[in-house]
Amino acid sequence: MAFETIPKPEDVRASAALTDEIRAHFTWENARAMLAGLPGGKLNIAHEALDAQVAAGHGGAPAMTWLGKDGTRREFTYEDLRAQTARFANVLYAHGLGVGDRLYGLMGREAELYIAALGTLKAGLVFSPLFSAFGPEPIRTRMEIGEAKALVTTASIYKRKVAPWWRDLPSLKAIFIVGDEAPEGCVALGPAMAAASPDFAPVPMDPEDTALIHFTSGTTGKPKGAVHVHGAVAYHAMTGRFALEMAPGRRYWCTADPGWVTGTSYGIIAPLVNRVHMLVDEADFDLDRWYSTLQTEKIEIWYTAPTAIRMMMRAGDAAAAPYDFSALRFLASVGEPLNPEAVVWGKRVFGRPFHDNWWQTETGGIVIANTQAMDIKPGSMGKPLPGQVAGIVERDGDGVRECKEGEIGELALRPGWPSMMRAYLHEQARYDKCFVGGWYLTGDLAMRDADGYFWFVGRADDLIKTSGHLIGPFEVESALIEHEAVAEAGVIGLPDETAGEIVRAYVCLNPGFEPSEELEKSIRGLARRKLGPAVAPREVVFRNTLPKTRSGKIMRRLLKARELGLPEGDISTLESDES
């Protein structure tokens, strides 16, 4: 069975045998052969996303519908985006920028950001997205590490976060401002684009040439710039199809912020390469707006985050009842583990369950997923996608030991997939430490069951050891939110002379519930019944909010630092941690 003859997503049925057949015959060589490519074995992500689609006769197909906060609506065909990205590429060259230079994007879900990202890649430059919510210091730090040559942003963000310091950055050649006017020393993008030619041939790049730099960070140390290459597009194409059910013409909505790797890999590249019709909503989360958008835009594929799902759950089933979600055919979640209750809730409210998947900034794309063709085990990450070899290992001296089924260890991957990071920018030693014994070590703890499903336990540095028991916070959090009063939960371990650590939980309540001693006992009682007294939290603390990263993950380490009175470090840097 060649890759070319694998059934299209609309022909796939929920059959494990069919999925096993696809996995058995999958090769990366065949996956790469599905790309249009450029002469001499060259590639360009923007060519695959736009120019190849137009050349194949699909220029008039809808590519992107953009919804503004103020009700504005803009429609772009594949030809529209091809021409606009060509104009942007010409603007870059007109201002002395060229192949290999690094351009940073700093804005929210503006249509111009999507054009700039693809235009940058088309011109052979490197694109690096930044969170628009970053403060001046995190922005400057990342641009210094990456030796930024150019920045595209809005006038408002420039004034508040960039203007005071950018002239101190010696590498920076140009700042492009969205709109018709720009501050002194900057380029107004509107007039520049209008004057530029709508024709620009995508620069032929070697598949190993750098295309993207995504920054990620932990609680200490400077941000890491994960380097990704043009050849990653083969992985984006494949995973968009197999993990997210993308197919030509399907209406797709990825709610991820474009400053996060999901907003690039699955908010820009994968959907266009698979010729879907993608929706981009400039506005932040609003319950009624989201429900209305799903209905009005007839969204078929929806990729969102557990935080948003929990917020919808918190509003109750009744809030969703007036809306028609019949167009939905596939729902997926990313950003942190999806609690089992959310899978069941999705099935009840939307008629279809949410499919969890797992990956990191470093992997560049989805690695483990619950696909349409699989039976979902609520709470599981799913199984490795075709071409991936995943294992559970334990570090053993200079090597690793592979763990047995049901044994908790570190999730590890065999290197070699197309979207795997190729480096941490300027940090070879830090990169090398990620690879041990022929595995890439992810830093996440997990276990694999007898059916080959993987289950997330927690980050290695989040693990709690109490009275000889190793506890993954996610397991405890999942039990807590089964209580009718609990909307969100965060769990940490605190030092204890007797037990080593004790488990403490922080919870946010659903509407209609108020903190009380009785409620605290009720929540702890449920946890004890489900988890046992050794694992259940000793105490539950009520909070109005929990600290989260920009990608929506609860910052357990920040909770712990605040509780112990430790230095919290650069909070804005902590908030960028999406790996």
Domain ranges of the chain: 3-448, 463-546
The pTM of the full predicted model, rounded to 2 decimals, is: 0.83
d(CA 415, CA 422): 10
User: Residue 126: how many CB atoms within 10 A of its CB?
Assistant: 22
Identical fold for domains 3-448 and 463-546, yes or no, is: no
Range 463-546 has CATH code 3.30.300.30: yes
Q: Which tokens is 395 given?
A: 């570090």
Separation in Å, CA 118 to CA 88, 99, 273, 388, 450: 9, 14, 12, 27, 43
Start-to-end CA distance of the chain, whole Å, equals 35
Q: Which tokens is 294 given?
A: 């799903």
Burial code of 4-30, b = ≥16 C-beta within 10 A, e = fewer? eebeebeebeeeeeebeebeeebebeb
Q: Which residues have CB under 8 Å from 252's CB, separation 6+?
A: 244, 246, 271, 276, 277, 278, 279, 299, 300, 301, 302, 303
pLDDT computed for residue 4 by the predictor: 42
- CB-facing half-sphere around the CA of 362: CA atoms within 13 A: 23
Instruction: Report which residue type is found at 553.
Output: K
d(CA 430, CA 222): 12
Closest CA to 148 of 174, 124, 122: 174
Instruction: Report which residue type is found at 458.
Output: G
Burial code of 43-55, b = ≥16 C-beta within 10 A, e = fewer? bbbbbbbbbbbbe
d(CA 179, CA 193): 10
**CA-atom Rg of the chain in angstroms:** 23
Task: Please tell me the CATH code under which domain 3-448 is placed.
Answer: 3.40.50.12780
Q: Which stretches of the chain drop beneath a pLDDT of 50?
A: 1-18, 218-220, 568-579
Q: Which tokens is 229 given?
A: 């290459």
pLDDT computed for residue 10 by the predictor: 37
d(CA 429, CA 298): 48
Phi, psi at 400, each rounded to 5° = -135, 155
pLDDT computed for residue 155 by the predictor: 97
Instruction: Report which residue type is found at 371.
Output: T
Q: Which tokens is 277 given?
A: 């019709």
Separation in Å, CA 572 to CA 127, 218, 459, 577: 22, 11, 20, 10
pLDDT computed for residue 471 by the predictor: 73
Return the bridge partners of 278, or none.
64, 252
